[in-house]
Amino acid sequence: MDHINEKRAQNELKRQVDEQQAEQDFVALAETPEGRRFVKRLLAECSVYQSTFTGDALSSAHREGKRSIGLWALEQFNVCPDLYIQFLTEKTHD
């Protein structure tokens, strides 16, 4: 039983370390103008701010899948809300 608990504890520690690394990676991306421009392009490509309805079920499902990825990317700003505010207010030259 101790072996199982030890394995669970190791898995939980690894999950926490991986999550912390992912957060640090996103902050590093969001801290640069290039990274924020990339995220803006990603969100635009994923149609985060648009309806996914097309009238065709398969097309709408495809667009909704892309939008889901974009929403996940947007959610990453939860670890750095100050950079999210900068992201929203920053002018881009599209």
pLDDT tens, the chain, 94 aa long: 798 999 999 999 999 999 999 999 999 999 999 999 999 999 999 999 999 999 999 999 999 999 999 999 999 999 999 999 999 999 866 5
User: Residue 79: left if φ>0, alpha if ψ -120 to 50, beta else—which one?
Assistant: alpha
- The reported pLDDT for the residue numbered 91 is 81
CA pair distance 61, 58, nearest whole angstrom: 5
Phi, psi of 90 (to 5 degrees): -70, 135
CA angle 73, 65, 43 (to 5 degrees): 35
- The reported pLDDT for the residue numbered 76 is 98
- The reported pLDDT for the residue numbered 94 is 54
